[in-house]
Amino acid sequence: MTELKITGAQALIKSLVEENVNTIFGYPGGAIMPIYDALYDYTDSINHVLVRHEQGAIHAAQGYARVSDKTGVVFATSGPGATNLITGLADALIDSTPLVCITGQVASHLLGTDAFQETDIIGISAPITKWNYQITKAHEIPSVIAKAFFIASSGRPGPVLIDITKDAQFESMQFYYEKCTKIRSYYPNPELNKDSVEEAAKLINQAKKPFLLIGQGIMLSNAENELKEFVEKSGIPVASTLLGLGAFPNNHPLYVGYLGMHGDYAPNIKTNECDVLIAIGMRFDDRVTGDVSRYAKQAKVIHIEIDASELHKIIKADVPIHADAKEALKLLTASINKNQHDLWLEEFKSAKKTEVDTLKQSAEILHSEELKMNEVIELLSEITHGEAIVVTDVGQHQMMAARYYQFNKSKSNITSGGLGTMGFALPAAIGAKFGAPKNTVIAIIGDGGFQMTVQELGTILQSKIDVKIVILNNRFLGMVRQWQQLFFEKRYSFTEMISPDFVALAKAYSIEAAKIENRANLKDALLKMLNYEGSYLLEVMVAKEENVFPMVPTGASVSEIRLK
């Protein structure tokens, strides 16, 4: 529809409305000021969340996108505003999170002159975006924005950055918007090869010890129901990657655990004992494989993946299936025989018992009087029935949450997986609450990561949202300290941390808070936090030198996983 002439800035906001955007995370500045002025007239239909740092904006948009099935939208100004998005862009690319980031830029005649707050954000962000583009003419805005949303959300999702010069924001134009549905030479939805599916089905039907590994791709394709049908027909044990947690209910009898360096004992060792390994929507990250030269060499590998570049990249697949997980699973389920693998499943249960018994014995010997991180997570899981949205930062608490929270709902585990970004959890939890306002959102954070984006407590204050924050305070950069203990002869080089009074800090932001130091008060404290109307911070003092086990040491095979 053609309208009266409007400015480029107004065209941008109208384009976002056409894409059904109702939430934006951002921070204004000089080069994006015309866009913010245009936004002023849309506050009834678009909620702008004012963060306290641009990194907070992009992590919040990630949390929002991960729980809502929508594309997260970010506004930032030029120069430092734009460069403060870099960590989040890298995080979103590796974790396949759909974002559209809009940055203001100096006027086009100043490009390349080192003008005030000018940076080449296109050049800087090129390696860590799915696509980026600089707009210097207002008439480009509608078509480029339409293309940005299509690219960000289709195929394997990812972040897109659009940089708009200030003169393009002021320039007048005729507005017309048409959503983008295809781009020449970009094929986000691969054609499913039915012969490959039949070949995979034949291997699965003949397998004596098949094993299924699932990743976030299941949730990105909304294939949770198809996955459950496949698993229950095939009877195959299922293990999840870190980002795949929640794609398959953790309380299902065929779920056998969490994969990876700090994953469960059974799925790690059984990877090197299965005869057919089926990987769906996961990329064989190094934290999952350990030593690649000794990974699943005995197994026939079936790999279903929408991103062709991931096929054969780390692990050579005997049957690669370049396809959307949902589409592939439908056809694969129709092609396999109904089966069950009771004896094989018993092997997983036996290995699980070995893990539980060993870890319990270690806990009884070490620091038995001190609260442990896993105690907190297990009790939190029990109280919430594994149905809360849990947002974790990076470190020991992250691994403990992955291991001990029972993720029974899809899109309920929000964490920084591939990049491992400390400071992710607090802003991502804010975004998750905006994306799923009816859900309980709990941010589980270490004392180190919390202080990297602690200023976002101000966003909670201003936005008046309900986020529950649990700080597991061990007074160390715990994961680094664990490695220093195990591999650097306990030379704790700059990992012990002195922190402020977190309770007083929270209350300074008008957030209710409490601190506990013993298990006798733990359940009551968690219940009080969860039942409180509004945001709440609970600091839990845990053992200073608690380690996360099991653990696959760097360079080791998954078969060499250590229980202590």
Residue of 419, 514, 520 whose CA lies nearest to 473 = 514
- From the candidates 14, 70, 130, 166, which is the catalytic residue? 166
Q: How far apart are CA 99 and CA 125, in angstroms?
A: 13
Asked about 117 being catalytic, the answer comes back as yes
Q: How far apart are CA 225 and CA 245, in angstroms?
A: 15
Residue of 203, 236, 237, 241 whose CA lies nearest to 219 = 241
Cβ contacts of residue 231 below 8 Å, gap of 6+?
212, 238, 248, 252, 254
Mapped onto helix, strand or coil, the DSSP state of residue 99 is: strand
- From the candidates 422, 479, 529, 551, which is the catalytic residue? 479
Asked about 352 being catalytic, the answer comes back as no
Asked about 564 being catalytic, the answer comes back as no
Asked about 170 being catalytic, the answer comes back as no
Q: How far apart are CA 460 and CA 50, in angstroms?
A: 10
Q: How far apart are CA 70 and CA 21, in angstroms?
A: 9
Helices 141-153 + 8-18 axis angle, to 10: 40
Secondary structure of 458-520 in HEC code, one letter for each residue: HHHHHHCCCCEEEEEECCECHHHHHHHHHHCCCCCCCCECCCCCHHHHHHHCCCEEEEECCHH
Q: How far apart are CA 378 and CA 386, in angstroms?
A: 9
- From the candidates 33, 117, 273, 497, which is the catalytic residue? 117
Asked about 370 being catalytic, the answer comes back as no
Q: How many CA atoms lie within 13 A of 116 on its CB side?
A: 4
In order, the DSSP letters of 131-157 are EEEEE-SGGGHHHHHHHHHHHHHSSS-
- From the candidates 10, 19, 25, 54, which is the catalytic residue? 54
Do strands 413-414 and 389-392 pair parallel, antiparallel, or not at all (unpaired)? parallel
**Catalytic site positions:** 54, 116-117, 166, 479
